[in-house]
Each structure stands twice: as C-alpha cells, then as structure tokens.
C-alpha cells in the first residue's frame, strides 16, 4: 500500500477525514448526512443557494432525510454547506452527486459532471479521493474524469485516488436507505477501490467491491435496464390483455404466487423519475458507439414511451361510454409525482398525459399533496385540493399516481368516471371505473 493510501485509510478509519459532497439533491444530501452521522466533518457544495441556506439552517428539503438529522449534525458542527468550490482543497474525499440527464436526441448529457470535475481539478491536491456517483455510461470515469483530473500533473493511483460508486437511492422507500442499501465500489486501481470502500464502510452497512470503474458503472445500468425492460414487457402485456378482455392485474397477482422463477412487475401510465426512463439510453448509446444494437432496450423504451398515449385513449373510451367527447371535457389527474409519496415530478408520465390531454382539447387540472405547483413546458398549473376538485364537478378522474393520502373511496363515489392506471382501486367493480 502506498503511503498516501495508508495515510488516507488512517483518517477514514479514525473518522478524522473531511468529506465533501458536490450536489445536494436526493442523492447528495442523504449521503452527506450519513457522513456527518458517522462522525466525519461533512461539507456540502451546491450552486443552488436555497439548498445551501436550508442545510445551513438545519432544514431538510428531501422527504427521506429527517430534518432532525440535519439540524443535529449542523448544531454539532459536523455538517456545513456552501457554494464555494475553493473549500474542496480542505476535503480528503470528494463525492460527485450531480444530475446526468439526456439530451433531446437521447444522448448522454454530462455537462453537470464536467462542470463539477472542472472545479475538483482546479483544487485537487495529493492524497484526495474522488468518487463519481452520478449514473452514466461505462467508461465515463476512465475516459472523462481521469484525463481532466490528471491534466495538471497529478497521477491517479499515485498522487490521488479515483473511483465510481453508483447511487442506489429509492425515494420514498423507508426500508432501504442510504445506509442499508449495499454499496458497489470500483476504483481505477486496487488502492482506489480500497480507500473508497473504507470511506463507505464507516456509514454504509455493506460494501461490494468490484474490479473496475467500468464494472461499477455497468452495475447501475444493468439494475435499471432490467426494470425498464420488464416494465416494458408487462406494459405490452397490459395492452394485449385489454384487447383480449382479460384483467392484467389479476393475471399478475396469480402469477406472483409461483415461489420461483417469477418476479412481479406492474404496468402503468409510463416511466418516470431520475433513473429508469434515462439509464437504459445511456447503455444503448454506449452500445451504439461500439457497433452493438441493443434491441430489447430500444423496444422497451418504445413501449414505455407510448403508455401515456394509451392512457389518453382509455380516458377517451371512458368519456365515450357516456356520450362525451374528450375535447371540452374536464379531466382531473390524481397525482403528478412520478411515484407514490414523493415530491419528485421529473420525467413523470402524468406530465405527458396532461400535455396529451391539452392537445386533445380537454380541460386539465390535478391534485397532488407533494407537488403543489407544476411549471413544465405548456403546463402551468397549481394543485387543487381533492375535496374541492370533487366538489367542482369533473367529467373524469384519472389516478396517475397512487399516493397513500388520496381518499379513493371518495374519488370513486364522487366522480362520474374514473380511469385507474395504477390499480389503486384493486377489487373495485363498478361500471364507471375503467382500469388500464
């Protein structure tokens, strides 16, 4: 073991190191709080002054992070936040947790990663550990980060350490948290893997070292592509069952009683969130660069992207059953977040459904206790309280996100038509209720 690696390992195991996290979103803030809870001096860096000010006051804007945890860490002097990247020179470890969206062409957009790495390179010193957590294509750490960080003469594995560890956060999941989810770690060399694993070992229950950054990068893409492909399959099955007059939800419930060889996936109005709609395209893009055609991934993406249009067709069918056209009808969406009980509407299929409804001439409104306002493209809406929405008189209620807080009995009782895209009304049989 090299001296620098040994020195850093000592700091990590004694928890005297300073840990920095760039990007204080749904991945970065929980990680930063876990580092502070473990006893490290934890430094959060973000360009968003509102986030920095909130953390500095001991406030949490991420539902999965209890405000009491942030407040306790700040009061103990273990956690602070800033917009000043020059403070990176004081850090022993630097975790990069910034967004990696797609361009409109479905190509990877690494601009946030590149901007963060430029700042890290500017303040890089000997003995530091840099870890990328942002989801990306295999080869990003070696092909993008490594040359940028080595540009001023320091050598990875000799003067500093470099690794990749995929974030596995599942917003809204109270059982699996940053601490309890096993952490995959792959470095550019053995010492980088070793010190990165040592960092996480102080605050995460289980560490899974792998042989390289490319393997670690591929792990995350496999996980989410697996979900996307299987959701695409069950969405296609839902379309097929509709044409065969079969209840797809009953089929899935019966199939999942098999104790081996089957894992249930569920259809819905489309894919949403920060990972599953995006990550498979990172993989298919990289495959194309190497002359490989990823047919399953592309097909699943096509099916999943078409689900919002199918939902609108079901809404039109429901309205037609009472001799009403879609144009001019008042359609109210219950849920704008991409999944239940979270405040994240990124890539939410409910947004696509709302836009398609507007283009068809419908009047659109929505209720969501977690998303009070939506400003996206041609949508500029404020959430309407459920009681008011039901009292105002709507033509069709559409359950797009199955929040636990919704009173589904009231929705069924007070809505002339209901289209349920999430099986929130499981077991309900009524002529005015339409399933996906």
- Show which residues are catalytic: 275
Q: Could you give the CA distance from residue 112 to residue 127 in angstroms, rounded to a whole number?
A: 24
Q: Could you give the CA distance from residue 400 to residue 391 in angstroms, rounded to a whole number?
A: 20
E strands of 241-355, at which residues?
330-334
Q: Could you give the CA distance from residue 203 to residue 30 in angstroms, rounded to a whole number?
A: 11
How long is the chain? 436
**End-to-end Cα separation, the chain, in angstroms:** 58
Q: Could you give the CA distance from residue 82 to residue 427 in angstroms, rounded to a whole number?
A: 51
Axis crossing angle, helix 295-305 with helix 213-244, rounded to the nearest 10 = 50
- At 301, list the tokens: 């993406």
Instruction: Report DSSP state, residue 339.
Output: S
Identify whether the C-beta of residue 148 lies closer than 8 Å to the C-beta of residue 156: no
- At 310, list the tokens: 């199918």
Helices (H) and strands (E) in the chain, counts: 16, 15
Cα angle 73-84-142, degrees, rounded to a multiple of 5: 95
């Amino acid at each position: 073991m090299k001296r620098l690696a040994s020195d850093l390992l000592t700091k990590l195991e004694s928890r005297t190191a300073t840990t920095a996290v760039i990007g204080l979103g749904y991945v970065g803030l929980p990680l930063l709080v876990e580092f502070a809870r473990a006893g490290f001096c934890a430094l959060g860096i973000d360009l968003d002054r509102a986030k920095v000010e909130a953390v500095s006051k001991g406030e949490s804007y991420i539902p999965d992070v209890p405000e009491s945890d942030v407040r306790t860490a700040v009061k103990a002097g273990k956690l602070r936040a800033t917009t000043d990247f020059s403070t990176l020179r004081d850090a022993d470890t630097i975790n990069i947790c910034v967004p990696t969206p797609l361009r409109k062409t479905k190509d990877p957009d690494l601009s946030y990663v590149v901007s963060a790495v430029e700042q890290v390179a500017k303040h890089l010193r000997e003995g530091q550990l840099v870890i990328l957590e942002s989801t990306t294509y295999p080869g990003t750490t070696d092909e993008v980060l490594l040359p940028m960080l080595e540009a001023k003469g320091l050598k990875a594995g000799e003067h500093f350490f470099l690794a990749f560890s995929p974030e596995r956060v599942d917003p809204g999941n109270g059982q699996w948290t940053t601490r309890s989810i096993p952490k995959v770690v792959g470095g550019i060399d053995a010492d980088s893997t070793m010190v990165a694993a040592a960092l996480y070992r102080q605050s995460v229950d289980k560490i899974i070292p792998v042989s390289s950054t490319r393997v670690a990068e591929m792990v995350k893409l496999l996980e989410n592509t697996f979900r996307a492909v299987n959701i695409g399959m069950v969405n296609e099955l839902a379309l097929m069952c509709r044409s065969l007059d079969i209840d797809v939800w009953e089929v899935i419930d019966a199939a999942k009683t098999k104790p081996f060889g089957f894992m249930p996936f569920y259809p819905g109005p489309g894919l949403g969130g920060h990972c599953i709609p995006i990550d498979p395209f990172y993989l298919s893009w990289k495959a194309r660069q190497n002359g490989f055609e990823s047919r399953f991934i592309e097909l699943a993406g096509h099916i999943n992207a078409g689900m919002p249009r199918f939902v609108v067709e079901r809404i039109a069918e429901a309205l037609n059953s009472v001799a009403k056209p879609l144009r001019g009808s008042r359609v109210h969406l219950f849920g704008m977040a991409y999944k239940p009980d979270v405040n994240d509407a990124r890539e939410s299929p409910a947004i696509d459904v709302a836009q398609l409804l507007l283009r068809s001439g419908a009047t659109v409104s929505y209720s969501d206790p977690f998303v009070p306002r939506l400003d996206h493209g041609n949508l500029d809406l404020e959430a309407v309280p459920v009681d008011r929405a039901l009292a105002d008189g709507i033509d069709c209620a559409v359950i797009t996100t199955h929040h636990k807080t919704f009173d589904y009995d009231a929705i069924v009782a007070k809505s002339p038509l209901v289209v349920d895209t999430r099986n929130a009304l499981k077991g309900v049989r009524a002529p005015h209720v339409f399933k996906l």
